[in-house]
Each structure stands twice: as C-alpha cells, then as structure tokens.
Structure 1
C-alpha cells in the first residue's frame, strides 16, 4: 500500500519521464526559412509556447519593477529576482518536450518568486500575491503533465502542489484545490481520448491485416479448387486411357498410336490448364492471367474425353444457355468436370446422363450415372470433390444436391443467373 503511494511521488519528483508528445501534423509544421540554418522545419505550437514564455518573462519583469517603484524600493537581489522571472517563463518553454521537467523547474524556482513578492509587500501574513502570469504558467504545466502521464502521477503532482499551497498560503487551500484540479482533469480526458484514438487506429490496422490474411486464404482455397478440378479430371481420364488403349489395340500399331495421341492431347490440355491456374502465382508484377477461363462451351470437350475413357455419356443442352455470366459458366464447367471424374473413379464404364438447361432465372446442371461396367479399382484421394462443387454453388447463391439414386448417383446444381 505504501509502495503504491510512494512510487508515483518518486516518479513525478525524481525518476519519471513523460510520454512522448503527439506527432506534429502538417498544419503545425512548416519549412523554415533559409537563414535559419540549424532548423529544417518550424513547429508553430512550440514557437507559440516560446513566444508565450518570453511574454510572461517581460510581463512579470515589468510588474515587479512597477511594484518596486511604487514602494520606492531599491533594486532587489539580482539572483532571486532573475530566478523569480525564470520561474514564470522557463516551465512554459519546457513543458512540451519535458512536462515533468517543467513542473520540477517550477517547484525549484517558485520559492524565489515568493521571496521577491513578499519582500516587495513587506512579508505580509496573508501570503503571496497571485499574478496572472504565475497562475497561467502553473495551470499550463499541470495540464501538460496530466495529458502525458498516468492518473497516479497526476494525483501525485496535485498532492505536491497542494502541499506547496499549504506552506506558502494556507488561506486559499479550498479554492486552490479546485483550481489546480481543473487542468489535471482536462489533461486526463485528452490523454484518454488520445489513447482511445490510437487503439482504434491499431485495431483498424489489425483488421486490415486480418482481412488481407483472409483474402490470401480465400485465394488459396480458390486455387486449390481449380487445381483439384483440373488434376482430378485429366489424371482420371489419362489413367483410364492408359489402361484401355493396350486392350483396345490388341497389338494393332495404328490403334495404339491413336490411343497414345489421345493421351498426349489430354496431357497437354492438363498442363495448359495448370499453367493458367498457376500463372497468377508466378507473376511478380501482379498482372492477371489473360487466358479465358473455361465455360459452357468447354463441356463438349469434357464429354468427348469422358466418352474416350469408356463412359457412355448422353448430353443434352437447351438453347437458352448459350450466353450466361462468366462466373456461372466457369462453375458449371467445374461441376460437370468433377462429376464426370467421380463417375470415372467410382463407376468406370457407366452410362451417364448430363443435362444443362435454364429453368427460370437459374442454370440447372444434372449429372446422373448408372452402375459401373466394372468395379472401381481404388477411391484414394476422393472425398473433397463434392465439398468443392457445393462451395462453388453456394458462392454464387445457388444450391447443390448430391446423393445416391436407384442403381447410381446424381448431382443437381442450381446456379442463379441474376446474382452472378
């Protein structure tokens, strides 16, 4: 308990250093004239404080000399007189850079002002005279101390100030307590508002960073979906073709050559699409890939590849779907691509019914397959295709339903055209 009380006093009187001043804005800083060689910029706030300090010095000097003349007194002691003038001006000049240092300077030099003041008035019992330079100086210093230090330090400064007031003039303690509290409360409010603003700025910066990280994650997920669609489809077709070509050729070199040509064409198509997806990652200048994304026109190639891989695909497309938004066309293409790849993996040789039609304001994609002509060899690597298809549909505001039907499996995607 005692340590909690002593620590702020020690900080305020001896060891403490105030928080740095707020950064100067363009409104308060201007370029200095060429003849001010040591300075590159001028801070209007500090220039105003220096001017005020000079004004307080001159005003206090004039006031004290006038009082000496009225009392018909000789010249006062030089050192106490100059300290008295410094006590009213120097703290104002120091308060922006060193608030606690300015306050300590006032504490050290104020006794000289009290001595000169009482010497002029003949050391009256009612205490010292409170001139406006003295009041203004001390209130400004207290405000700066409170705006740049913690609440505990401000309370310690107020307590020491009250002790000074009690020693030099106990008659005005009640009024002085209220007057000295005003700049401290104002400084506390300014400091609280400044800290709240800094916290808001920090939170805004963290939000920007978080949004950037979220955008990166979303972009990675999008690229992962694209890679999954491209690799899964083409690799499935290539694997099935590589297995089927030797069986179909049965030693016929011409058929074997044609089958290998189909595999080569599929491989080149896969490489081209992989380059298209990964191009944006390798572009250091942030340029976007200009190669067109797949759309509904590319479904014909998917059907041809699926038929070449041994699927019996019945494809129906209504004439109303010739022109659809790019995002809808790309999502429909990927859904068909993934659905055919799943049929190749899980029901090789099956009969597939594929329909792309427009129903009202929606593009509807239906892919249904029957049982496979032969058992699937392996389902390794499966499990994420349906999630990716459903996410594509949801991102466009649509729906995707997938599940078993009699002797097979069906995927139905509804993609809104208006929202896209």
Structure 2
C-alpha cells in the first residue's frame, strides 16, 4: 500500500507539475521534483537502518524541497509531496521533533503561497499550505499502532520461547527420572547377580556343590527380584500408586530381611510420587547394604509424623568378606535428587555408635 501510494504521487506529479524541462525554470522544477521523489521514496527505508539524526536531516531537506516546489511550479500536484512527507515525519520521528518539523512545513508552504514567492499556485489558497502539517497526526497514530503490534508480537515470541524452555526442562527432568529408575533396576540387580555367579564360579574349583547350588539359587532369586523391580519401575513410569507399607514389607521379605520393618505413627496414604521415591530410596539403600555390608543386620523404620514422612534404613557392619567392586557413584546422587524433588532432606553416613556401629544409615524426611 505504501509503495502504491508513493508511485501514485510521483506519477501524478510527473503528469501535472509544470513547467518541467531541461533549462531555466523548467530545469529548477525538474530538480526539485527529483529531490521530492527521492525524499518520498526514502520512506521505504526500515527505521532501524536510518540513524535518528540522519532521518531529521533527510526529512528537513524534504520539507524545504516540497515548499520550494510549491513556490516554483505554476500548477500541478506538487503539494502532495508535502502532505505525504509530513505524514511520514509523524511516523518516523519522536513526537516532539515531529511536531516541530511538521509545523515548520505548514508555515513554509503557507508562507510560500501567502507571499506569492515565485509564480506559485494562483488558484490555491494560502491556508492550504498550513494544512500540510495535519498528516503528522496520522503518522503518529500509525507509529503508535505499529509499536503496539510489535509489542504484542514480541510478547508472543517471549511466551513461545518460555514455553519451549519449560517443555525442554520437563523433558530433561523426565530423562533424569528415567535414568535414576534404570540405574536402580539394572545396575544394582545385575551387580548382585554377577556377584553370585562369580561366587559360584569360584566354588566350582573347590568341588563344594552344595555351596555352588546355594549361590546359583541366590542368583535365581535375584533374577526374580529384578523382575519385581522392573514391575515397580513400570508402575513408577506410569504414575501408578503403590501401597507404601505393603510394598516396602514385600521388598524387605524378598531381599531376605523378614520382620525388619518398623512402622511408627498412624499410617496415612501418601501421594503416589512420594511413595514411589521412598520405595526407590529404600531399594537403593538395601542394595548398597547387600553390596558393601553382606551379612549385616538391616533395620528399616517408616515413621508417619504430623508434618512429614520419615524413612530410615540402617545396616550393621559386614559379617563376611565379599568383593563388592566399585559402584557407579550414582546411587546416593539419585537418592538426593529424589528427595530434593519432593522438597525434603536426606541424611546419609556411617553409624558411629550403638549396635550398628561401623554400618551405614540413610534417613529421608519428606514433608507433607
């Protein structure tokens, strides 16, 4: 639309403005016409590409050229250049400079007609020259509208970027959660099975088939336990709710620690997310106890307080020597991440006194 209007003004001026030639006054009119065309075509330059001072100089020269064209030409539509330039002044410049420059344009054009500088437009009232400043208001309104549209688009882009960042954060959080679950299920279960198979392989050289069979049976039980853990992982990933007390008791029984669970306080139903993470912490603690303190006693306490749910896993020192190998180092990190996601606190460290001295304890406090 802007280019169509600009072309219409230029074509109209070329067809109506007189005199226009290559000598005398006709040459002067032709030069002013070209300058006005250049000033009008420059409206298409993006605002960010033209420095503010350069814009003021360009539009000021355009105003002088438009007023001069009105005074030098005898007839035609030269006054349209002044109207369109004033409209663009309101769009391009800040309000203060725009009003000053537009008022100057109106006074110049009105003065040229009033004082009949040059042949002028004899049939054009001098008051028309003053009205050339009026389009500045339209230009300012267009500028405000464009700024409002740009602000809305910028806000929409910011909201879209925020949504993408939030989605990425959710994806990363879910990946971390799955990584913890995979670590809990595969790393620990496979480590236990590997230890039993290595023990069975070592016992084969002694010829003690009973111990070989016992190690083999233990490996089979670990495989079954791994399947149960895989089911728990599937439940966790699907956000299925697991009964905390019953599942914890079953976990202890399957790991060979019957009657190791103590429940204090009045059991209440905790959120599915809390139950899942407490079960994972218990599973991690039991696996670490089996790896680093084989044969040691294990005690688990689940306390339901008024404002929190507390899980404590404590194991005594090892009673037999087993080469547990080196862990991945991700177990304790995973437990801390789980507790942090629930807004709780985790305490883990060696037991320094009591019957379990030399063992290890883990305590997770989850607020309600």
TM over 0.5: yes
SS in 1 for 2:317: coil
SS in 2 for 1:219: helix
SS in 2 for 1:364: strand
SS in 2 for 1:368: strand
Corresponding residue number in structure 2 for 1:14: none
- Counterparts in 2 of 1:344 and 1:404: CA distance versus 1, 3 Å: same
Corresponding residue number in structure 1 for 2:103: none
Using the alignment, how far apart are the partners of 1:180 and 1:359 within structure 2? 75
Give how far 1:235 is off: 2.6
Corresponding residue number in structure 1 for 2:184: 229
Using the alignment, how far apart are the partners of 1:158 and 1:189 within structure 2? 22
Match status 1:168 vs 2:67: no
Contact 2:109 2:132 in 1 (8 A): no
Using the alignment, how far apart are the partners of 2:241 and 2:263 within structure 1? 22
Using the alignment, how far apart are the partners of 1:255 and 1:345 within structure 2? 18
Match status 1:411 vs 2:338: no
SS in 1 for 2:347: strand
Q: 1:292-303 counterparts in 2 under 5 A? A: 293=242, 295-303=244-252
Corresponding residue number in structure 1 for 2:167: 212
Match status 1:396 vs 2:298: no
Corresponding residue number in structure 2 for 1:8: none
Give how far 1:242 is off: 3.6
Corresponding residue number in structure 1 for 2:7: 104
Using the alignment, how far apart are the partners of 1:312 and 1:250 within structure 2? 28
Give how far 1:414 is off: 0.9
Corresponding residue number in structure 2 for 1:269: 228
1:336 paired residue among 258, 261, 282: 282
TM-score scaled by length of structure 1? 0.56
Using the alignment, how far apart are the partners of 1:343 and 1:404 within structure 2? 12
Corresponding residue number in structure 2 for 1:251: 209
Give how far 1:343 is off: 1.4
C-alpha RMSD of matched pairs (Å) = 3.8
Contact 2:197 2:215 in 1 (8 A): no
Contact 1:245 1:259 in 2 (8 A): no
Using the alignment, how far apart are the partners of 1:149 and 1:157 within structure 2? 15
Corresponding residue number in structure 1 for 2:47: 150
Task: Flag structure 1 segments of 5+ consecutive residues without an equivalent.
Answer: 1-95, 117-141, 281-288
Contact 1:158 1:181 in 2 (8 A): no
Give how far 1:181 is off: 3.6
- Counterparts in 2 of 1:110 and 1:178: CA distance versus 1, 3 Å: same
Contact 1:312 1:352 in 2 (8 A): no
Using the alignment, how far apart are the partners of 1:100 and 1:315 within structure 2? 83
Corresponding residue number in structure 2 for 1:350: 296
